[in-house]
Amino acid sequence: MNEQWSEKLLTRFLHYVKTYTESKPGVEQIPSTPQQWDLANYLKDELERIGLEDVSIDEHAYVMGYLPSNVSEHLPTIGFIAHFDTSPDFSGKDVNPQIHHNYHGGNIMLNKEQNIEMLVSEFPELRDFAGQTLITTDGTTLLGADDKAGLAEIVTAVEYLIQHPEIPRPRIAVGFTPDEEVGKGAHLFDVEKFGADWAYTMDGSSVGELEYENFNAASAKITFKGKVVHPGYAKNKMVNAIHIARDFSAALPADEVPELTDNRQGFYHQHTISGDVDEVVLDLIIRDHDEELFQRRKDFVLKIAQSMNKNFGQERVVVELNDQYFNMFKQIKDKMHIVDLAREAMENIGITPDIKAIRGGTDGAQLSYKGLPCPNIFAGGQNFHSRYEYVTLESMARATEVIIEIAKLATQKFAR
Please give the positions annotated as active site: 85, 180
Q: Buried b vs exposed e over 365-380: b needs ≥16 C-beta within 10 Å?
A: bbbbbbebbbbbbbbb
* Bond into 31 cis (ω within 30): yes
Listed residue (98, 84, 208) closest to 154, CA to CA: 84
Q: Residue 206 CA to chain centroid, in angstroms?
A: 13
Give the residue from 290, 416, 271, 413 showing the smallest Cα distance to 342: 413
10 Å Cβ neighbour count for 6? 17
Burial class from Cβ neighbours inside 10 Å (0-12, 13-18, 19+) for residue 69 reads buried
How far from 350 is each of 353, 363, 399, 402, CA to CA, in Å?
9, 27, 12, 10
Helix (H, G, I), strand (E, B) or coil at 302: helix
User: Left (φ > 0), alpha (ψ -120 to 50) or beta: where does 61 sit?
Assistant: left
For the purposes of burial, counting CB atoms within 10 Å of the CB of 233, is it exposed (0-12), middle (13-18) or buried (19 or more)? exposed
End-to-end Cα distance, the chain: 30
Task: Kindly give the interhelix angle for 291-312 and 241-251, rounded to the nearest 10 degrees.
Answer: 140
Rounded distance, CA 55 to CA 78, Å? 16
Cα–Cα distances in angstroms (integers) from residue 186 to residues 67, 177, 238, 369, in the given order: 22, 7, 45, 10
Taking a C-beta distance cutoff of 8 angstroms, is the pair 350, 402 a contact?
A: no
Phi, psi of 353 (to 5 degrees): -65, 140
Residue 22 DSSP symbol = B
CA distance 106 to 415: 48
